[in-house]
């Protein structure tokens, strides 16, 4: 009995007479492991190659990077040579820490050997541009084999189902970014600084940490720094940054705090700058509100109020329920 890998990567066996699983496009084509992601966030792509061409081994896998997927880095793969082709983007994209990217990796090629009876995964990281519209983008993939090749490059026409295609390109569904805070959301003043719409994600059971987000604008002539704060149910308050390092998302504490330059705004949001509440004494539930403080190097201490949004979700709508 042969084993075949379905689109989710799990082995299944069938003993139904006359049914040939390998012929089904739903399980035989190249797919992405993670098929949904939010714009304006990092993305780790894992391409799954389930078989070779006409019973022969795969010798090369080439992936085209669609417009709007930037800062791409392939993961090294034992036994395979990895090559990239760089090129100009259609426009310049904003990236972390005010950086702007106008060019980057447009194609990745892995060269090695993958037997027809085996499957494998080919991985790269990147960043999904913030202005990518909600919908699907496609990573066109070519398998070059000992005998012939397979081009997973078909893109369905508008309103058509990709399952009807013989060689569909792996698709990624782009989800809308976290909703922006309501215009009615609260704001707080500290000297020349304005703090807008502070919020925190609700925590799952047993969680001991939580992240806090907001927008801080400096209307003054001098830079200031967010250096600390307090939160009533947290043992510690820290200012953190998340960033990509060698294709891996890492978090670090900003020992000197977060600078807010004169005339500029800094947005604390998931995947970037944020405040971290450590050693939580209790869980945080969606709909609650909590009072806390922020401490700035020059503007000093200011009292603010956080609204608790959904677990894993975006900023809550204006108007909380319970107060603490």
pLDDT digits (tens, 9 = 90+) for 167-221: 999 999 998 664 444 434 689 999 999 999 999 988 887 789 999 999 999 999 9
- Flag whether 180 is in a domain: no
Distance CA 193, CA 190 (A): 5
User: CATH no. for residue 192?
Assistant: 2.60.40.1890
Q: What is the pTM of this model?
A: 0.52
Q: Are residues 192 and 54 part of one domain?
A: no
Pick the more confident residue, 34 or 314: 34
- How many domains, the chain? 2
Q: Are residues 88 and 41 part of one domain?
A: yes
Q: Are residues 250 and 158 part of one domain?
A: no
Pick the more confident residue, 43 or 99: 43
CA dihedral sign, ordered 246, 249, 252, 257: positive
DSSP codes of every residue in 166-216? SSBPPEEEEEPPPPPPPTTS-EEEETTEEEEEEEEE---TT---EEEEEEE
Quote the pLDDT of residue 98: 73
Distance CA 278, CA 1 (A): 52
Antiparallel, parallel or unpaired: β 36-38 and 171-175:
parallel
Pick the more confident residue, 23 or 303: 303
Choose among 269, 306, 65: nearest CA to 169.
Answer: 65
Tokens found for residue 93: 């994209």
Q: Are residues 85 and 220 part of one domain?
A: no
Containing structural domain, residue 271? 187-323
Instruction: Work out the mean pLDDT of the chain and round it to a whole number.
Output: 84
């Amino acid at each position: 009995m042969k084993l075949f890998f379905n689109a989710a990567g799990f082995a299944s066996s069938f003993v139904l007479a006359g049914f040939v699983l390998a012929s089904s496009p739903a399980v035989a084509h190249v797919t992405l492991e993670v098929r949904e992601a939010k714009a304006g966030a990092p993305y780790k792509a894992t391409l799954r190659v389930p078989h070779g061409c006409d019973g022969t081994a795969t010798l090369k896998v080439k992936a085209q990077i669609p417009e709007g997927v930037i800062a791409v880095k392939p993961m090294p793969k034992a036994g395979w040579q990895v090559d990239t082709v760089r090129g100009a983007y259609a426009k310049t994209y904003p990236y972390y820490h005010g950086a702007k990217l106008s060019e980057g990796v447009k194609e990745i090629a892995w060269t090695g050997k993958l037997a027809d009876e085996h499957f494998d995964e080919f991985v790269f990281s990147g960043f999904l541009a913030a202005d990518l519209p909600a919908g699907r983008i496609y990573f066109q993939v070519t398998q070059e084999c000992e005998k012939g090749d397979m081009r997973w490059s078909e893109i369905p026409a508008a309103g058509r189902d990709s399952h009807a295609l013989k060689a569909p390109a792996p698709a990624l569904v782009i989800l809308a970014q976290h909703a922006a805070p309501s215009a009615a959301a609260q704001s707080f003043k500290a000297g020349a600084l304005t703090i807008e719409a502070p919020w925190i994600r609700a925590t799952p059971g047993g969680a001991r940490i939580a992240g806090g987000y907001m927008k801080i604008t400096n209307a003054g002539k001098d830079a200031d720094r967010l250096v600390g704060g307090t939160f009533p149910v947290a043992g510690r308050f820290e200012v953190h940054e998340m960033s990509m390092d060698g294709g891996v998302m890492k978090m670090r504490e900003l020992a000197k705090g977060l600078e807010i330059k004169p005339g500029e705004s800094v947005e604390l949001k998931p995947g970037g700058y944020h405040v971290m509440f450590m050693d939580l004494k209790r869980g945080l539930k969606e709909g609650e509100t909590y009072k806390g403080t922020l401490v700035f190097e020059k503007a000093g201490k200011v009292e603010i109020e956080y609204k608790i949004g959904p677990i894993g979700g975006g900023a809550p709508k204006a108007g909380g329920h319970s107060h603490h």
